[in-house]
Amino acid sequence: MTTIIARATFDYVCHPLKCPRCGQTSSDICGINLQTKLREHPTMDSLRVGDRLELREDPSMGGYLVIHPPREPLRVIEEWVCDECGTSFLWAILEVHDGTLASVEPAELDESTLESVDLVTGQALFLFPTVETVELMALDPAELRARIVRAEVERLAELAKG
- Evaluate whether 79 touches 22 at the Cβ level (below 8 Å): no
pLDDT digits (tens, 9 = 90+) for 25-82: 999 999 999 999 999 989 999 999 999 998 988 888 899 999 999 999 999 999 999 9
> Rounded mean pLDDT of 106-121?
95
d(CA 149, CA 12): 25
CA dihedral 49, 51, 54, 56 (to 10 degrees): -20
- Evaluate whether 37 touches 64 at the Cβ level (below 8 Å): yes
- Highest mean pLDDT: which of 3-7, 41-45, 102-106? 102-106
155 phi and psi angles, rounded to 5 deg: -65, -45
32 phi and psi angles, rounded to 5 deg: -90, 0
35 phi and psi angles, rounded to 5 deg: -100, 140
Q: What is the pTM of this model?
A: 0.90
Q: How far is CA 89 from the centre of its chain?
A: 9
d(CA 139, CA 34): 26
- Residue 4: pLDDT over 70: no
What pLDDT score was predicted for residue 79?
Answer: 97
Provide, rounded to the nearest whole percent, the portion of the chain with pLDDT above 90: 75
Which residue in 130, 121, 128, 129 sits closest to 150, CA to CA? Answer: 128
d(CA 56, CA 68): 16
- Evaluate whether 114 touches 157 at the Cβ level (below 8 Å): no
What pLDDT score was predicted for residue 161?
Answer: 87
d(CA 7, CA 162): 40
What pLDDT score was predicted for residue 3?
Answer: 59
